[in-house]
Structure 1
Amino acid sequence: MVKFYENSFSYDYQWPAVTLAYFLRYPNPYSKHVVSSDTLSSHLDTQTGNLHVTRLHLKRGKLPASVARFLPKIKESYILEKSIVDVKHQRLETETRNLDWEGVLSVVESQVYTPGSVSTVSELETAAAGVGRTDVTTVVRFESRLGGAARNTQSDGMAGRWFSNWTTGSVQGSIELVGMRRMMEGFGGRREGMKVVLEQLRERGFVGVIKEQRQGGWERWKKAWRGEGVERTDD
């Protein structure tokens, strides 16, 4: 069973700034569960001029007790991220997918970042003044394959059919529901994390942000944004 979720929103920053912030978004105070972020490859397509980047993120987290009792405990996971930056047409396309426990729950998230449309005189003046908007469309596909695996491993007969139906209807449904709920809850934290990076890019510039991240400056700034109650998001 495959489920989809779609969401659209905007950042009040121009596309180049948002694109840069995307690649600098870790670490930030709202994604403290991200342990590391490494670039596996990057290359410039000489024919199209597009930049292709592949990164690997290590995140820590665990399944809720309602699902963990059926499955081994998940404490960390690797997320593969592929991005294409089309500077000519100002378009950023990204795709992230989990590499661990893909047979239990596969989550694939695709995003497209484009400049916000300018349709009024005031919007045109705002864009000319260096202030703009970037629209983001997010589509998430997630699928639990646990039921299918159970059907392949169980013997025929009434007991086997009962276990297969129970697994598909209960555990698989619970996993997909948890995946959707966590994804929706994480959107807010992710946007706030991006805004933190965007604000610092505007105030400190690229070099200042890189220096601050390497020195762990996010912890010093935490009180100014949300206070000591900043919580980790699972996305």
Structure 2
Amino acid sequence: MVKFYENAFSYDYQWPAVTLAYFLRYPNPYSTHVISTDTLASELDPVTGNLHLTRLHLKRGKLPASVARFLPKIKESYILEHSVVDVKNQRLETETRNLDWEGVLSVVESQVYTPSAERTTRDGKTDVQTIVRFESRLGSGKVVKDVEEKRGFFSNWTTGSVQRSIELVGVRRMREGLGRSREGMKVVLEQLRERGMVGVLREQRKGGWERWKKAWRGEGELMDDLPIERK
């Protein structure tokens, strides 16, 4: 079974700023679950001039109880991200996918960032089109064998119902995650406007999130509740 989730969103910033913020988005006050980010490869295509980047994110998270009972305990997971920056046509394409327990729930998120045709009182807007593909292959012979080796209690279960449950949880968590991701991007964008790229990099390395709390008025209480941890 495969499920898709689609979403469209716009940032009130020009495409170059949004593209830069995308690659500087970790850490931010809304991404305390991201432990580390490493660049695995970067290549400039000599023909197209496009920049290809591959990064690996290590994230910390707890599975919902409705799903955790079917799986081994997962406290950390790796996310592989591949991005293509087309500066000439102002287009950023990204794809992220989970590497842990992909056979149980595969989540592939694709995004396209392009300048918006709609103008604002500022310099411009950037549109983001998001498509997320969820697929649970729980019930296949190999997956069941692997899970039984880890947790030997798969005695009573209906494959279809478990797949649907896992996929629905995945969709719900993705919606919540996209919301937090946008807020984190907004914080980084605002700081880029105020401090520039060098200032943002310095602030992130120092872990000065207390000063970043003032970036968005009216959200101080929410951000006060977020624990800030560094790797």
Q: CA deviation at 1:151?
A: 8.9
Task: State the partner residue of 1:88.
Answer: 88
Gaps of 5+ in 2: 146-154
Aligned-residue identity in percent: 78
CA distance in 2, matches of 1:64, 1:185: 13
Gaps of 5+ in 1: 154-162
Task: State the partner residue of 2:193.
Answer: 202
TM-score, with length taken from structure 1: 0.85
CA distance in 1, matches of 2:108, 2:196: 32
| Aligned residue among 166, 172, 185 for 1:175 | 166
Contact 1:54 1:81 in 2 (8 A): yes
CA distance in 1, matches of 2:92, 2:160: 38
Q: Secondary structure at the match of 1:145?
A: coil
Q: Aligned letter for 2:110?
A: S
CA distance in 2, matches of 1:149, 1:110: 29
User: Are residues 1:135 and 2:131 paired?
Assistant: no
Q: Aligned letter for 2:132?
A: V
Task: State the partner residue of 2:20.
Answer: 20
Deviation digits for residues 58-111 of structure 1, max 9, x if unmatched? Answer: 000021112111211111100000000000000000000000110111000000
Please identify runs of 4+ aligned residues in structure 1 that moved more than 6 A. none
CA distance in 2, matches of 1:215, 1:150: 46
Task: State the partner residue of 1:29.
Answer: 29
Task: State the partner residue of 1:149.
Answer: 141
CA distance in 2, matches of 1:151, 1:197: 40
Give the RMSD, CA atoms, in angstroms. Answer: 2.0
Deviation digits for residues 23-54 of structure 1, max 9, x if unmatched? Answer: 00000000100000111010100100000000
Task: State the partner residue of 2:98.
Answer: 98
Task: State the partner residue of 1:113.
Answer: 113
More helix by share: 1
TM-score, with length taken from structure 2: 0.87
CA distance in 1, matches of 2:105, 2:138: 8
Task: State the partner residue of 1:7.
Answer: 7
Task: State the partner residue of 2:72.
Answer: 72
User: Are residues 1:222 and 2:209 paired?
Assistant: no
Alpha-carbon distance change, 60 to 134 in structure 1, aligned in 2, over 3 angstroms: same
Deviation digits for residues 144-181 of structure 1, max 9, x if unmatched? Answer: 1112237976xxxxxxxxx79x4322221111111001
Contact 2:15 2:90 in 1 (8 A): yes
Deviation digits for residues 164-215 of structure 1, max 9, x if unmatched? Answer: 9x43222211111110010011221110000000000000000000000000
CA distance in 2, matches of 1:93, 1:65: 34
Q: Aligned letter for 2:225?
A: G
Contact 1:30 1:231 in 2 (8 A): no
Contact 1:148 1:168 in 2 (8 A): no
Task: State the partner residue of 1:56.
Answer: 56
Q: Secondary structure at the match of 2:158?
A: helix
